């Protein structure tokens, strides 16, 4: 908005009258005094319009700047609100995706169990798995197991209430056939009395078995996921399918009669079986800082006050206006920088941490390697978790998984020191216990402020014989085929003092890694959860690794992290999986 200067009007009747009077005096005197008086009067009359124009120009400019500043800060706050809404929508979609796993997992467990248990035991297995998932206050209200015979599905076992789709109905038969031919679970909305439900079906084309469940849509429209903090400041509506129509609504936290959501909204598609979900959100409150919300009004009021003062004292107004412009620019710049500071700091921290980790897993004959580092959920400080795998000589390999106490740049520096020191000793041919003993003389918690735990191993890739030593680190999990399927056990490694506790000696143990077996090492952030006994986390890890042991290495690591990681945990996680191939 540009300032418009209004030129004052010319002299009015009084001015004209004054001029006439002077002229009359001059004519009467007939001398130079009359001419001087006329010149002085004309100067005063010309000065008034000039000063008046300056004052009006200052007022107009002040108002223009006030409006511009108010508009700029309001626009900046609006853009910030749009970005924050998109960010929170992505977070809510991530929470929703995690919740979807709990729907698919029990169906997949039933099909996996159906393949390995005898036919006569299959109904009991189905009842045991789905019985805990079906009933009052459970996620399913109805569950049944079906098998196709001659193109027609027959019910083998059922728990919970009667399904919304009649078992003999063509709709259910067609839905089950669709599930048997789909590469994921299939979803549809069904009506069951006065409460609609969501039906799920997952089929195994090899056995012709389909698991069918129904989940009630809450009467109040609320879902358990909206108790997550990601939904705290959002109004939302979740629709089944790619379009947000009333007939496909599943859950919402507003009155359904007020849908669709008004105002600024954000829409995101979430994978959900063959149908997908559409998440539509709007802000329930102002998402940005209170400063961003009130800054336009503050600028407006301050601008009007400054303009009023400037009209009274022109010189003061100029100085005040310049200061106000500088302050407005500074506040806007700081507001934008504060908005992105957290994300930039966290990104830089993660870049630094990843830069100190191996850029790629080494290629070692006879050995498959998969590793992953996951940053903690809160804060911007980086941690000292790390992993390392190196080839030693013609037939040996060495690996280390470690964790430095504390967080921040100092912890990362300590991690780099430990990583490269252990790497040097192992490349020199030292055994794990000797490498740890040498390292123990180089670290001091009193001097460095950190302790370091580490699991060190040296293995023969041809025989699988591996020597392990531990400096206060959790034991690895060894998963091998015991004849009846994968079996996981924790390797009993003698635990020595952490590095930093003073010069120490360490003991080692030898373990054989059979062909096809996997050794899974990790840092404590994978198994520790606040308020939970450590043994519970260790047992959960063993079950998870066993369940995914037959998958490729990358999928194994991904599955374990997905199942074990707590989204609210602050600790970092490093995992390293080694699988011995060959005969």
In 10 A of CB 79, how many CB atoms?
13
pLDDT of residue 257: 79
- 240 touches 151 (CB < 8 A): no
Tokens of 344: 């930039």
d(CA 403, CA 415): 7
Identify the CATH number of the domain defined by range 357-580: 3.60.40.10
**Residues with Cβ < 8 Å from 311, sequence gap 6 or more?**
55, 58, 59, 62, 317
pLDDT of residue 231: 76
d(CA 306, CA 302): 6
List, in sequence order, every beta strand (DSSP E) within 97-151: 142-149
Residue 289 CA, chain-centre distance (Å), reads: 20
- 171 touches 178 (CB < 8 A): no
- pLDDT tens, the chain, 583 aa long: 433 333 333 434 433 334 333 343 444 444 444 444 444 444 444 444 556 677 778 788 888 888 888 888 888 888 888 888 888 888 888 887 877 777 888 888 888 887 777 777 777 888 888 888 888 878 888 998 888 887 788 888 889 888 888 877 888 888 898 988 888 889 988 887 777 888 999 988 888 889 999 888 876 656 566 666 667 788 888 888 887 776 778 888 888 778 888 888 999 888 888 888 898 999 888 887 787 778 888 888 888 888 888 777 765 655 656 677 787 888 877 767 766 655 555 565 556 655 556 666 788 888 999 999 988 755 556 778 999 999 998 899 999 999 998 888 888 889 999 999 999 999 999 999 999 999 999 999 989 889 999 999 999 989 999 999 999 999 999 999 877 788 899 999 999 999 999 889 999 999 999 999 999 999 999 998 888 899 999 999 999 999 998 899 999 999 999 998 877 777 889 999 999 986 5
Tokens of 318: 């100029």
**pTM (two decimals):** 0.44
Domain borders along the chain are 117-216, 357-580
pLDDT of residue 538: 93
pLDDT of residue 404: 93
Residue 440 CA, chain-centre distance (Å), reads: 38
Q: Are strands 495-496 and 465-471 parallel, antiparallel or unpaired?
A: parallel
350, 400, 518, 361: CA torsion to nearest 10: 50
Given CATH 3.30.450, say whether it is the number of domain 117-216. yes
pLDDT of residue 106: 87
- Whether the ω angle into residue 260 lies within 30 degrees of 0, i.e. cis, is yes
Helix ranges (DSSP H) in 313-372: 314-356
DSSP bridge partners of 418: none
Q: Which of 580, 583, 581, 577 is nearest to 361 (CA)?
A: 577
In 10 A of CB 392, how many CB atoms?
17
- 510 touches 467 (CB < 8 A): yes
pLDDT of residue 347: 61
- 418 touches 385 (CB < 8 A): no
d(CA 42, CA 25): 15
Backbone angles phi, psi at 548, to 5 degrees: -105, 10
- Same topology, domains 117-216 and 357-580? Answer is no
Phi-psi region of 173 (alpha: psi -120 to 50; beta: other; left: phi over 0): alpha
pLDDT of residue 7: 37
d(CA 500, CA 439): 9
pLDDT of residue 541: 95
pLDDT of residue 228: 65
DSSP bridge partners of 109: none
Q: DSSP class of residue 118? A: -
- 86 touches 266 (CB < 8 A): yes
């Amino acid at each position: 908005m540009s300032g418009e200067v209004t030129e004052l009007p010319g002299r009015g009747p009084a001015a004209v009258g004054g001029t006439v009077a002077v002229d009359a005096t001059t004519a009467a005197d007939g001398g130079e005094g009359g001419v001087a008086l006329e010149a002085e009067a004309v100067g005063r009359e010309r000065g008034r319009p000039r000063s008046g124009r300056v004052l009006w120009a200052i007022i107009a400019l002040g108002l223009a700047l006030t409006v511009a500043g108010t508009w700029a800060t309001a626009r900046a706050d609006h853009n910030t609100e749009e970005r924050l809404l998109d960010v929170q929508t992505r977070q809510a979609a991530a929470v929703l995706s995690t919740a979807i796993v709990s729907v698919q997992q029990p169906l997949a467990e039933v099909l996996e169990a159906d393949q390995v248990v005898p036919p006569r035991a299959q109904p009991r297995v189905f009842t045991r798995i789905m019985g805990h998932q079906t009933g009052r206050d459970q996620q399913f209200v109805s569950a049944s197991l079906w098998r196709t015979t001659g193109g027609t599905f027959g019910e083998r076992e059922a728990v919970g209430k009667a399904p919304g789709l009649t078992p003999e109905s063509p709709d259910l038969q067609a839905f089950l056939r669709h599930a048997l031919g789909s590469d994921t679970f299939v979803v549809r909305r069904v009506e069951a009395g006065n409460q609609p439900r969501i039906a799920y079906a997952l089929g195994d084309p090899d056995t012709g078995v389909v698991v069918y469940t129904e989940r009630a849509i809450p009467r109040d429209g609320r879902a358990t996921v909206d108790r997550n903090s990601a939904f705290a400041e959002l109004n939302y509506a979740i629709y089944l399918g790619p379009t947000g129509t009333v007939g496909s609504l599943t859950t919402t936290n507003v009155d359904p009669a007020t849908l669709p959501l008004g105002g600024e909204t954000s829409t995101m598609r979430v994978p959900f079986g063959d149908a997908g979900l559409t998440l539509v959100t709007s802000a329930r409150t102002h998402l940005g800082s209170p400063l961003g919300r009130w800054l336009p009004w503050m600028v407006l009021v301050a601008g009007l006050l400054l303009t009023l003062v400037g009209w009274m004292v022109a010189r003061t107004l100029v100085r005040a206006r310049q200061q106000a412009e500088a302050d407005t620019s500074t506040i806007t710049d700081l507001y934008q920088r504060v908005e992105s500071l957290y994300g930039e700091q966290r990104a830089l921290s993660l870049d630094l941490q990843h830069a100190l980790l191996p850029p790629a897993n080494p290629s070692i004959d006879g050995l498959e390697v998969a590793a992953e580092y996951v940053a903690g959920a809160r804060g911007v400080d980086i941690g000292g978790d790390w992993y390392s795998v190196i080839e030693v000589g013609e037939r040996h390999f060495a690996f280390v998984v470690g964790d430095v106490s504390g967080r921040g740049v100092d912890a990362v520096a300590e991690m780099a020191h430990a990583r490269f020191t252990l790497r040097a000793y192992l490349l020199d041919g030292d055994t794990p216990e000797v490498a740890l003993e040498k390292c123990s003389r180089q670290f001091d918690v009193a001097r460095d402020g950190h302790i370091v735990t580490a699991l060190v191993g040296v293995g023969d890739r041809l025989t699988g014989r591996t020597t392990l030593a531990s400096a206060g680190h959790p034991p690895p999990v060894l998963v091998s085929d015991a004849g009846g399927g994968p079996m996981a056990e924790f390797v009993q490694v003698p635990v020595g003092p952490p590095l930093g506790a003073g010069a120490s000696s360490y003991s080692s143990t030898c373990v054989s890694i059979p062909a096809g077996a996997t050794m899974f090492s990790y840092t404590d952030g994978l198994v520790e959860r606040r308020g939970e006994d450590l043994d519970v986390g260790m047992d959960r890890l063993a079950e998870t690794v066993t369940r995914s042991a037959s998958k490729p290495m990358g999928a194994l690591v991904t599955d374990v992290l997905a199942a074990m990681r707590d989204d609210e945990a602050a600790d970092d996680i490093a995992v390293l999986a080694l699988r011995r191939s060959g005969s």
